[in-house]
Amino acid sequence: MNPELKKQIKEIQAGFSLIEMLIVLLIGGIIMLGAVTALKVYAEAAASALTHARMAAIDNAIGQYQLQNGHYPFPASLKAPVDDPAGHYGVVGAVGTPGIFRPVAVNSPNGGRVDIGTVPTRGLYLQDEDMTDAWGDRFIYAVTEKLTASATYNPSKGNICVKDSTGIQDVALPACQAYYVLISLGADRVGAYSSGSTIGRPCNAATLEGQNCKYNLGKGKFIMTILKSGNGANTFDDIVIFHAAGPQGLAPSGMTALFASPPGCVAKGWVPAANPGQLTPPAGTIYCQKQ
């Protein structure tokens, strides 16, 4: 065979090999990208599930504590390290305990104070790890102060405001009279204290989500994420559970609740609903349904 022809054939074969290799690499990259994306989605779902499970366990333990003691537990210190020499880690605290915040005023018609700290896991006979969410940050536990003592316990005297993710509509009923809230500050970890008692990303008090982590300025008002939505400063990833005389917890799809009218069903994800056959709504309120 002509040497020049043989040379050309080899060059063509080499070219095909390079193209084939590039195609294989491209396909492999696409597969890898899909696998990484799927893994990320799975990890997010797993973290959310773990956080919800721990919050449910805490919520149940708080309920048991109330049944046994006739009042809710006081928060534990948000700042106390695990080996705190003063013994504040995970125990039921008291007014004046370092790392427990006590806003000057609240927005409730009942008046009084709200105490903000973390879950007193040791006082509730929970594991230390139950104090933190899936991202390793301590849950926020805020409670109406009057409900933490038998002498002042009155289930009609909740003091905490819980708003929807627009910051407009009251979700707790009666308005601004929730008993307590549990909050995970979510994957963005803004304003959260880690298991090592240090705060990571500073709280951005200028955002609605910042209501949940500006502990000294919150004045008993918290924002409940009904839907994870928005971008930038308007993104919510906090997980909130609350207890009040009315509907409790994260609002499920199809839930019907009372809202003030006006403004009516303007909260994101809520639409007007017919009377569901319950008691006649109080004057000035209407029924709204969660989409």
User: pLDDT tens digits, residue range 211-266?
Assistant: 788 877 655 567 654 434 444 555 677 888 888 876 555 555 666 766 767 777 76
Tokens 């708003």 — which residue? 163
Q: Where are the beta strands (DSSP E) in the chain?
A: 114-117, 140-144, 161-163, 180-184, 221-223, 239-243, 256-260, 270-272, 285-290
Q: Is 221 helix (H, G, I), strand (E, B) or coil?
A: strand
Q: How far is CA 163 from the centre of its chain?
A: 13
Between residues 252 and 143, the one the model is more confident about: 143
pTM above 0.75, yes or no: no
Average pLDDT of 146-174? 81
Q: 88 near 121, Cβ under 8 Å? A: no
pLDDT score for 95? 92
Domain spans of the chain, in order of start:
42-250, 252-291
Task: Dump pLDDT digits (tens) for 73-116.
Answer: 999 999 999 989 999 999 999 999 999 998 876 767 777 888 99
Which residues are registered as beta bridge partners of 118?
Answer: 76
Q: Most distant CA pair in the chain: distance in Å?
A: 106
Which residues are registered as beta bridge partners of 241?
Answer: 182
pLDDT score for 18? 66
Q: How far apart are CA 103 and CA 114, in angstroms?
A: 7
Q: How far apart are CA 80 and CA 76, in angstroms?
A: 8
Between residues 10 and 191, the one the model is more confident about: 191
How does the average pLDDT of the chain come out, rounded? 78
Q: 178 near 162, Cβ under 8 Å? A: yes
